Amino acid sequence: MRDGQCCKSFPKQFKDDTEENVNGYPIYRRRATEPVQVGKYSIDNRWVVPYPWLLKKFNAHINVEVCVSVKSVKYIYKYVYKGHDAASVKIQKEGALDHDEILSFVEGRYVSAPEAMWRLNEFNCRINPTL
């Protein structure tokens, strides 16, 4: 909630059919129902989350969307095949200068499972388009 308004776009609009918006995300079907009084709030089908089983199973806020456009698939692959990240921590006495750059690179390198598979099969990991 921000300034008394839901920041997750609730309540949703009533829809007769599930449709795809311009970004490829679904706009789920929501049947028009009579409002139900819950405490001091009046709630209808526009406030209902369409996947309560997952919320109950994992006891967490879960946002499940079916992505079908090329744009959304490119977004997912961008982060899956982004490449490796590295982090290295070394504790030494103050004033000591002992830095081996090659050893730091070898010890701190992380290769993700998809990148390892591509490298073992000798696939090209980077594609540079010719313009």
pLDDT per residue as tens digits for the range 10-37? 778 888 888 887 776 778 888 888 888 8
Please tell me the predicted confidence (pLDDT) of residue 127. 62
Collapse the DSSP code of 24 into the 3-class scheme (helix H, G, I; strand E, B; otherwise coil) and give the result: coil
Report the C-alpha gap between 119 and 111 in whole angstroms: 10
| pLDDT of 48 | 76
How is the chain split into domains, by residue range?
1-130
Kindly report the pTM of this predicted structure: 0.37
SS3 76: helix
Give the pLDDT band (50/70/90) at residue 126.
low
Give me the residue label for tokens 């989350």.
49
Confidence at residue 69, expressed as pLDDT on a 0 to 100 scale:
67
CA 27, CA 12: separation in Å to the nearest integer? Answer: 9
- Name the token pair of 5: 């308004």
Residue range 73-99, pLDDT digits in tens:
677 677 666 655 656 667 777 777 777
Give the pair of three-digit tokens for residue 43: 């709630």
Residue with tokens 């199973």: 57
Instruction: Indicate if the pLDDT at residue 130 is higher than 60.
Output: no
Q: What angle do CA 100, 101, 103 make, to 5 degrees?
A: 70
SS3 for 27-66, per residue? ECCECCCCCEEECCEEECHHHCCCCHHHHHHHCCCCCCCC
Tens digits of per-residue pLDDT, 29-74?
888 888 888 888 888 887 777 766 777 788 776 766 666 666 666 7
